[in-house]
Amino acid sequence: MVALAVAGVLAVFLLYTALGGNSTPLLQPSNLAGHTGTISLTGKVRGPVNGDAKSTGGLQFGLHNINGASTIVPIAFHGSVPDLFKVGRDVNLTGQLDANGTFVATQMTTKCPSKYTATPYKA
């Protein structure tokens, strides 16, 4: 009977993951190019920071890989800017790549605060 129950649970599970569409690619600026659809992008914020998140142009800044050198992806963010947002900090963005190569994001999160110190990152 246990076997049946376990099989049932697994079936529900596999069905769900098979139907897909619920996982989002987790990428860095270096391997972003060419991806379509909703993407979760992680990187380090690079200045200059322009614009504002409530305007049509959005908050504009650059994003590059957390480790090592990489191309800088232009970001346009619309929404609520998290507290710990700062040049040099690591952020995670959810959005899509538009036709101009700008990553248009609607959600931004920063890491758990105990991972940061109070002074700005030495880039």
Partner 1 sequence: MADLGRAALVVSLGLTLYAFIGGTIGALQKRRRLSDSARNALVAAFGSTLVAAAVLAIALVHHDFSFVYVYSHTSKGLGTIYALSAFWGGQEGSLLLWLLVLSGYGALAAVLNRRLLRDLIDWVVPVIAGIASFFALILVAVASPFQTQVRALDGLGLTPSLQNPYMVAHPPMLYLGYVGLTVPFAFAAAAMLSGHTDERWIVATRRWTLAAWMFLGFGQLLGAHWAYVEVGWGGYYAWDPVENAALMPWLAATAFLHSVMVQERKGMLKVWNMILVALAFELAVFGDFLTRSGVIQSIHSFAQSSIGAWFLGFVVATTLFSVALILWRLPLLRARTKLESALSREATFLYNNLFLVALCLTVLWGVLFPVLSDLFLGQSRTMSRPYYDFFLRIFGLPLLLLMGIGPLIAWRRASVRSLLKTLRWPIGVSIVAGIGLIALGAGSSRPGLIEYTFSAFVLTTIVVELVRGTRATGSLFQLIGRNRRRYGGYVVHFAIVMLAIGIAGSSAYATVKEQKLLPGQSMTVAGHTVTYTRLERGRSGTANELRAVLTLSGREHGTLKSGVNNYFTGDTSKEVGIHTDWLRLEDTYVIFDQQEGKGVFFKVLVKPLVNMIWLAGFVFLGGSLVALWPDAREQRRLVARLALARG
What does the alpha-carbon distance between residue 36 and residue 104 come to, in Å, rounded to a whole number?
A: 12
- Is 96 a residue that touches partner 1 (CB under 8 A)? no
What does the alpha-carbon distance between residue 94 and residue 24 come to, in Å, rounded to a whole number?
A: 9
DSSP state of 68: S
Q: Which residues have C-beta within 8 Å of that of residue 118, sequence separation ≥ 6?
A: none
Q: How many CB atoms lie within 10 A of CB 57?
A: 11
Question: Pattern 10-39, binding to partner 1, x per CB under 8 A?
Answer: --xx--x-----xxxxxxx-----------
DSSP state of 114: G
Closest CB to partner 1 among residues 33, 115: 115
- Is 106 a residue that touches partner 1 (CB under 8 A)? no
Using CB under 8 A as the binding rule, the residues of this chain from 42 to 71 that contact partner 1 are 42, 52-54, 66-67
Residues found near partner 1 in the complex (CB under 8 A) = 1-2, 5-6, 9, 12-13, 16, 22-28, 40, 42, 52-54, 66-67, 80-84, 86, 92, 109, 111-120
